[in-house]
């Protein structure tokens, strides 16, 4: 009997192995496999893995090397990660993305206002008289004297050209006297609603600074540079190619436009095989039935169940910025006691637009920086739910920068997304306490307070207000320190995040904000294959090393769109 059992077992085992081998052979091979990786999946059910298999633009398996080997055949492209970190591609929840412009005068991070004069003078040498000279990203709080720049920096070197240089937040612009004359702006010109013409306190003359809606008064009187249709197309193509290459180099695989983007243009790029980031375009917050109908037509052409080009949300503005001192507050600014900010519309108009958009099923996202601004938009969202009925609307506060205590739990109660940009914290902290005082700063960039209250956060950059570089955002989120580094625990350290949570908010959090959390933002079977491979382990390196981290591979929809040489 014992010998009979041994004989049967001897027959059975090889048969089982043959059956198992047949099963393995029947697995359809992957197009791309990554092996020997440290994979941060953002999937709570399977948080870490060492290999991943991709077929087409979808992930087919995530797990151990042994689990993934069966998906490899002679046609499979294999990347040996050599122990490097892999995680979902960055999804920028708020980026004013556009073509790189070679004529733009870049002024980011300058500390000497005379550098503005020097760079404009250089541009004048190669620019015809009457042609607009433009640029920006200056930040007066970084100047040695911390004073607003004035037209005198421009007038002597550019007497025959209009010059317009926007502050880094985009909410204030510096122009020269040429523009003032062309616009008919004098000391007697009144401020428009929601705007301010900055004037010299002694003479009353315009200084050249125009805030918020006041910039709408400007007429540049500029001479146009005539380009042929072919030249214009070549310039545009080069600018967009540079922009998408830049995003790919940084590991940005999805971009959500705040109130812009041309869906048909991106569709054309996709058809040419040039689109290397997924794109959400957006509309403008309105109560106009005619405009709503137009946006609805775009939404139907690019629905939210799409994966590449989609219609996202309706964008509005209710206030300005902390840097320009135009944010909407309940109490006056500390450094300008007579000012509480510049509302961009009345509350009644805001509510009317939100209710109208919500009634048509649109998602709404509103730029809100100050305490009163965020309170107003939460009130408007609450009113829309009362009027139209509650739904999973996922309306958004774009920036949600400074909040009162009572409003923090309302984000979760109302299902409102806090769409935030970590680099704003480390840019603005230099002057935040001067502008709004220590007490109000406790509600500034309050990431953990919102998370602890149950709110959903989505991270982005607000490019080009801030750099598109996600590593700067990760550094800001975990350190709350100046980019150059500083001693101590960081600004309001209780609000610092872990690196894992920061990456989650840049990936899954941003995907949730666009209703895509069921197919994007995690490295998980049947999710879109958007991911990055980086050269350092972000979970273990020091703060000082975060911004030095480089993306080695960016993969979008299963295709390698960037590989660092």
> DSSP letters of 9-70?
HHHHHHHHHHHHHHHHHTSPPPSEEEES-EEE---TTS-EESEEEEETTEEEEEE-HHHHHT
Which of these three, 217, 247, 269, is where a domain ends? 217
Domain-located, residue 154? yes
Tokens matching residue 147 = 């004073």
Query: Rounded distance, CA 240 to CA 105, Å?
Result: 18
What CATH number does residue 79 fall under?
2.30.40.10
> Using omega within 30 degrees of 0 as the cis cutoff, is the peptide bond preceding 464 cis?
yes
Domain-located, residue 271? no
Model-level pTM? 0.91
Domain-located, residue 151? yes
What CATH number does residue 196 fall under?
3.10.310.70
Which of these three, 217, 240, 261, is where a domain ends? 217
DSSP state of 226: P
Task: State the residue for tokens 């309105």.
Answer: 286
Burial class of residue 47 in the structure, from the number of CB atoms within 10 Å of its CB (0-12 exposed, 13-18 middle, 19+ buried) = exposed
Note whether 194 and 137 are same-domain residues. Answer: yes
Query: Rounded distance, CA 513 to CA 310, Å?
Result: 13
Note whether 137 and 40 are same-domain residues. Answer: no
CB 514 within 8 A of CB 312: yes
Domain count, the chain: 2
Task: State the residue for tokens 């440290």.
Answer: 38
Total number of residues shown for the chain = 565
Task: Give the dihedral of Cα atoms 510, 347, 351, 328; nearest 10 deg.
Answer: 0
Note whether 74 and 127 are same-domain residues. Answer: no
CB 261 within 8 A of CB 280: yes
Domain-located, residue 509? no
pLDDT average per 10 residues of sequence, the chain (565 residues): 43 41 69 98 97 98 96 97 98 96 93 96 94 94 93 96 94 96 95 96 96 94 76 88 97 96 95 96 98 97 94 98 97 96 98 98 98 98 98 98 98 98 97 97 98 98 96 98 94 98 98 98 98 98 97 98 96
Note whether 178 and 141 are same-domain residues. Answer: yes
Note whether 82 and 110 are same-domain residues. Answer: no
Nearest to 166 by CA among 320, 345, 315, 366: 320
Q: How high is the pLDDT of residue 10?
A: 44
Domain-located, residue 514? no
Nearest to 478 by CA among 462, 459, 463, 464: 459
Domain-located, residue 174? yes
Note whether 189 and 161 are same-domain residues. Answer: yes
Note whether 133 and 213 are same-domain residues. Answer: yes
Query: Rounded distance, CA 174 to CA 151, Å?
Result: 7
Note whether 189 and 111 are same-domain residues. Answer: yes
Query: Rounded distance, CA 268 to CA 338, Å?
Result: 51
Q: How high is the pLDDT of residue 316?
A: 98
Q: 499-513 and 470-479 are packed helices; what angle lies between their axes, rounded to 10 degrees? A: 120
Distances in Å between the Cα of 279 and the Cα atoms of 199, 308, 453 are 41, 6, 30
Q: How high is the pLDDT of residue 223?
A: 74
User: Facing residues of 338 across strands?
Assistant: none
Note whether 111 and 195 are same-domain residues. Answer: yes
Strands (E), 176-224: 195-199, 206-212
Q: How far is CA 447 from the centre of its chain?
A: 16
Q: Which residue range forms the structural domain that includes residue 136?
A: 105-217
Which of these three, 217, 234, 257, is where a domain ends? 217
Note whether 46 and 113 are same-domain residues. Answer: no
């Amino acid at each position: 009997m014992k010998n009979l059992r041994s004989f049967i077992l001897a027959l059975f085992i090889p048969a089982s192995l043959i059956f198992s081998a047949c099963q393995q052979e029947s697995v359809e091979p992957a197009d791309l496999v990554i092996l020997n990786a440290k994979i941060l999946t953002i999937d709570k059910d399977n948080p870490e893995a060492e290999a991943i298999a991709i077929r087409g633009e979808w992930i087919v398996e995530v797990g151990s090397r042994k689990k993934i080997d069966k998906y490899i055949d002679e046609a499979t492209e294999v990347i040996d990660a050599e122990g490097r970190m892999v995680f979902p591609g960055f999804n920028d929840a708020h980026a004013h993305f556009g073509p790189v412009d070679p004529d733009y005068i870049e002024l980011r991070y300058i500390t000497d206002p005379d550098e503005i004069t020097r760079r404009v003078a250089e541009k004048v040498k190669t620019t015809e008289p009457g042609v607009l000279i433009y640029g920006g990203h200056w930040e007066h709080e970084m100047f040695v004297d911390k004073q607003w720049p004035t037209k005198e920096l421009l007038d002597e070197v550019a007497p025959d050209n209009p010059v317009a240089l926007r502050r880094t937040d985009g909410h204030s612009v510096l122009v020269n006297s040429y523009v003032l004359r062309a616009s008919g702006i004098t000391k007697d010109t009144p401020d428009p609603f929601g705007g301010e013409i900055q004037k010299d306190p002694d003479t009353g003359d315009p200084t050249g600074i125009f805030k918020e809606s006041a910039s709408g008064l400007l007429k540049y009187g500029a001479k146009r540079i005539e380009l042929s249709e072919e030249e214009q197309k070549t310039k545009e193509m080069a600018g967009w190619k540079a922009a998408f290459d830049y995003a790919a180099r940084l590991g940005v695989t999805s971009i959500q436009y705040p109130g812009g983007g041309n869906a048909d243009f991106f569709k054309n790029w996709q058809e040419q095989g040039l689109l290397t980031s997924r794109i959400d375009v957006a509309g403008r917050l309105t109560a106009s039935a005619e405009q709503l109908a137009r946006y609805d037509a775009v939404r139907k052409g690019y629905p939210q169940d799409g994966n590449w080009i989609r219609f996202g949300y309706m964008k509005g503005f209710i206030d300005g910025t902390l840097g320009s001192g135009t944010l909407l507050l309940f109490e006056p600014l500390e450094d300008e006691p007579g000012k509480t900010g510049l509302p961009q519309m009345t509350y009644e108009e805001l509510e009317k637009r939100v209710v109208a958009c919500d009634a048509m099923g649109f998602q709404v996202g509103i730029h809100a920086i100050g305490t009163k601004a965020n309170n107003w938009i939460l009130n408007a969202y609450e009113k829309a739910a009362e009027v139209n009925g509650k739904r999973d609307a996922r309306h958004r506060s774009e920036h949600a920068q400074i909040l009162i205590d009572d409003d923090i739990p309302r984000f979760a109660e109302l299902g409102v997304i806090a769409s935030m940009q970590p680099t704003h914290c480390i840019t603005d902290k230099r002057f935040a306490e001067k502008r709004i005082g220590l007490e109000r700063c406790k509600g500034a960039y309050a990431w953990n307070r919102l998370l602890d209250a149950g709110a959903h956060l989505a991270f982005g950059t607000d490019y080009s207000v801030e750099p598109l570089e996600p590593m700067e955002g990760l550094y800001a989120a975990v350190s709350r320190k100046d980019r150059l580094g500083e001693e101590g625990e960081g600004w309001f350290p209780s609000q610092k995040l872990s690196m894992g949570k920061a990456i989650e908010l840049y990936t899954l959090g941003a995907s949730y904000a666009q209703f895509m959390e069921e197919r994007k933002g995690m490295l998980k079977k049947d999710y879109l294959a958007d991911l990055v491979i980086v050269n350092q382990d972000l979970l273990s390196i020091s703060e000082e090393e975060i911004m030095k981290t480089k993306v080695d591979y960016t993969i979008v929809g299963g295709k390698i769109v960037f590989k660092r040489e």
